[in-house]
Protein backbone atom coordinates (compact mmCIF):
# COMPACT_ATOMS: atom_id res chain seq x y z
CA UNK A 1 0.00 0.00 0.00
CA UNK A 2 1.32 3.43 -0.93
CA UNK A 3 2.28 5.90 1.74
CA UNK A 4 0.31 9.19 1.74
CA UNK A 5 3.53 11.03 0.89
CA UNK A 6 3.73 8.99 -2.33
CA UNK A 7 0.29 10.04 -3.53
CA UNK A 8 0.46 13.11 -5.77
CA UNK A 9 -1.54 16.06 -4.50
CA UNK A 10 -3.93 17.36 -7.09
CA UNK A 11 -3.25 20.92 -8.28
CA UNK A 12 -6.62 22.20 -7.04
CA UNK A 13 -5.86 20.97 -3.51
CA UNK A 14 -2.43 22.61 -3.62
CA UNK A 15 -4.01 25.86 -4.79
CA UNK A 16 -6.61 25.78 -2.01
CA UNK A 17 -3.83 25.10 0.50
CA UNK A 18 -1.99 28.14 -0.84
CA UNK A 19 -5.12 30.28 -0.42
CA UNK A 20 -5.46 29.03 3.16
CA UNK A 21 -1.84 29.92 3.86
CA UNK A 22 -2.36 33.39 2.36
CA UNK A 23 -5.45 33.88 4.54
CA UNK A 24 -3.43 32.89 7.60
CA UNK A 25 -0.71 35.37 6.62
CA UNK A 26 -3.35 38.09 6.24
CA UNK A 27 -4.58 37.34 9.77
CA UNK A 28 -1.00 37.71 11.03
CA UNK A 29 -0.43 41.17 9.52
CA UNK A 30 0.45 43.74 12.13
CA UNK A 31 -1.66 46.82 12.71
CA UNK A 32 -1.23 49.61 10.18
CA UNK A 33 1.43 49.22 7.52
CA UNK A 34 3.34 45.95 7.95
CA UNK A 35 5.95 45.91 5.17
CA UNK A 36 7.54 42.58 6.18
CA UNK A 37 4.11 40.93 6.41
CA UNK A 38 2.99 42.30 3.05
CA UNK A 39 6.27 41.26 1.46
CA UNK A 40 5.90 37.76 2.90
CA UNK A 41 2.36 37.48 1.56
CA UNK A 42 3.46 38.75 -1.85
CA UNK A 43 6.34 36.27 -1.93
CA UNK A 44 4.00 33.44 -0.95
CA UNK A 45 1.50 34.08 -3.74
CA UNK A 46 4.25 34.64 -6.30
CA UNK A 47 4.79 30.88 -6.12
CA UNK A 48 1.36 30.17 -7.61
CA UNK A 49 2.25 28.37 -10.85
CA UNK A 50 -0.74 29.67 -12.81
CA UNK A 51 -0.35 33.35 -11.89
CA UNK A 52 -1.67 35.43 -14.76
CA UNK A 53 -3.54 32.56 -16.42
CA UNK A 54 -7.27 33.02 -17.03
CA UNK A 55 -9.46 32.53 -13.98
CA UNK A 56 -7.81 32.07 -10.60
CA UNK A 57 -4.43 33.05 -12.04
CA UNK A 58 -5.79 36.47 -12.96
CA UNK A 59 -6.94 36.97 -9.38
CA UNK A 60 -3.48 36.07 -8.08
CA UNK A 61 -1.84 38.48 -10.53
CA UNK A 62 -4.27 41.19 -9.42
CA UNK A 63 -3.44 40.53 -5.76
CA UNK A 64 0.28 40.54 -6.53
CA UNK A 65 -0.08 43.95 -8.19
CA UNK A 66 -2.20 45.28 -5.32
CA UNK A 67 0.35 44.19 -2.73
CA UNK A 68 3.08 45.90 -4.76
CA UNK A 69 1.05 49.10 -4.72
CA UNK A 70 0.59 48.87 -0.97
CA UNK A 71 4.32 48.38 -0.48
CA UNK A 72 5.15 51.27 -2.81
CA UNK A 73 2.68 53.59 -1.10
CA UNK A 74 3.39 52.59 2.49
CA UNK A 75 -0.21 51.63 3.13
CA UNK A 76 -2.41 48.59 3.55
CA UNK A 77 -6.10 47.78 3.16
CA UNK A 78 -6.74 44.33 4.56
CA UNK A 79 -10.30 44.34 3.22
CA UNK A 80 -8.99 44.77 -0.33
CA UNK A 81 -6.63 41.85 0.22
CA UNK A 82 -9.43 39.76 1.70
CA UNK A 83 -11.69 40.40 -1.30
CA UNK A 84 -8.93 39.10 -3.56
CA UNK A 85 -8.39 36.01 -1.41
CA UNK A 86 -12.12 35.23 -1.32
CA UNK A 87 -12.29 35.68 -5.10
CA UNK A 88 -9.35 33.34 -5.56
CA UNK A 89 -11.02 30.70 -3.38
CA UNK A 90 -14.31 31.12 -5.26
CA UNK A 91 -12.70 30.61 -8.66
CA UNK A 92 -10.96 27.47 -7.43
CA UNK A 93 -13.97 25.97 -5.67
CA UNK A 94 -16.97 27.00 -7.77
CA UNK A 95 -16.08 28.97 -10.88
CA UNK A 96 -18.87 31.33 -11.95
CA UNK A 97 -20.17 31.74 -15.48
CA UNK A 98 -17.93 33.64 -17.91
CA UNK A 99 -20.11 36.72 -17.35
CA UNK A 100 -19.82 36.36 -13.58
CA UNK A 101 -16.07 35.93 -13.82
CA UNK A 102 -15.81 39.06 -15.98
CA UNK A 103 -17.76 41.05 -13.38
CA UNK A 104 -15.56 39.69 -10.62
CA UNK A 105 -12.39 40.68 -12.48
CA UNK A 106 -13.81 44.15 -13.17
CA UNK A 107 -14.47 44.56 -9.46
CA UNK A 108 -10.92 43.52 -8.57
CA UNK A 109 -9.55 45.96 -11.14
CA UNK A 110 -11.61 48.74 -9.55
CA UNK A 111 -10.06 47.88 -6.18
CA UNK A 112 -6.54 47.90 -7.66
CA UNK A 113 -7.22 51.21 -9.36
CA UNK A 114 -7.97 52.81 -5.98
CA UNK A 115 -4.28 52.36 -5.14
CA UNK A 116 -2.74 53.00 -8.55
CA UNK A 117 -1.26 56.37 -7.55
CA UNK A 118 1.05 54.66 -5.06
CA UNK A 119 2.68 52.62 -7.80
CA UNK A 120 3.11 55.66 -10.07
CA UNK A 121 4.97 57.61 -7.40
Per-residue model confidence as pLDDT tens digits over 43-69: 999 999 999 999 999 999 999 999 999
- Average of pLDDT values for 12-40? 94
- Provide the angle, in degrees to the nearest 10, between the axes of the packed helices 56-73 and 35-46: 160
Q: For the chain, what percentages of helix, strand and coil (3-state, to nearest 5) are there?
A: 75, 0, 25
Q: How many domains, the chain?
A: 1
Owning domain of residue 17: 10-120
19 part of a folded domain = yes
For the chain, what is the mean pLDDT?
90
Percent of the residues in the chain that have a pLDDT greater than 70, as a whole number: 89
86 part of a folded domain = yes
2 part of a folded domain = no
- Give the domain CATH number at 104: 1.20.120
Q: What separation in angstroms does the CA of 8 have from each of 5, 14, 52, 56, 108?
A: 8, 10, 24, 21, 33
3 part of a folded domain = no
| pTM, full prediction | 0.88
30 part of a folded domain = yes
Q: Is the pLDDT of residue 120 over 70?
A: no
Amino acid sequence: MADDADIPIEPAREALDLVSEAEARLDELGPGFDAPGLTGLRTLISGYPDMGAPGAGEVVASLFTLLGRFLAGGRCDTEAILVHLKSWRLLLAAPPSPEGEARLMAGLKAIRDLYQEAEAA
